[in-house]
Amino acid sequence: MSEFRYAVNVLPKPGILDPQGRAVEQSLPHLNVTAVSRVRVGRRVELTVTDDSEQGARAVVDGLAKELLSNPLIEVYAIELLQGTSSADSSSAVSSKVPAK
C-alpha cells in the first residue's frame, strides 16, 4: 500500500454566475490593475489516499469529487496528483515558485 496525495480543484461551471469572482474583479481598479479579467473563484481540497495503485487511489478521489466535493449541477472539478505532502509546503509548491530575479 502506498499513500497518494491529491488536490481537487473545484470551479463554478462556465456560464454560471460567480458573484465572488465578480467582486474580486470589481476591486481591481482600486489596485490600478487593468489587464486582468474573467476572474473565477473556486475551492481547492487536498487529501491523501492509501491504495495499492495510483489508478485505484485516483478512482477514490474521482468518486469523492463527484459525490461530495463538487456539485455537478453547478461546478466542475480537476484532479491533480501532488508530489510532496501539500502544495502549501514550499518544497512541493511548483506552481508558486517565484523565478529568481
Partner 1 sequence: MRIGVVTFPGSNSDVDSLNALTVAGVEAVTLWHESADLAGVSAIVLPGGFSYGDYLRAGVIARFSPVMRSIKEFAAGGGHVLGICNGFQILAESGLVPGALLRNRSIRFAGRLVNIKPERLDSPFTRAATGAPLRVPVAHGEGCYFADDATLDQLERDGQVLFRYVHDDGTPVLDPDDPANPNGSLRAIAGVCNAAGNVAGLMPHPERMSESVLGTDGGMQLIRSLVESAAEWEAAGRPSPKTRAEARA
For partner 1, which residue of 74, 81, 88, 94 counts as binding (CB under 8 A)?
A: 74
Residues near 99 by beta carbon (within 8 Å), at least 6 away in sequence: none
Residues paired with residue 87 on neighbouring β-strands, in sequence order:
none
Residue 17, SS3?
A: coil
Q: Which stretch binds partner 1 (CB under 8 A): 28-36, 46-54, 64-72, 88-96?
A: 64-72
Residue 27 found at the interface with partner 1 (CB under 8 A): no
Give the total of residues touching partner 1 (CB under 8 A). Answer: 11
Q: How many residues are given for the chain? A: 101
Cell numbers placing 5: 496525495
Q: Enumerate binding residues for partner 1 (CB under 8 A).
A: 16-17, 19-20, 23, 43, 68-69, 71, 73-74
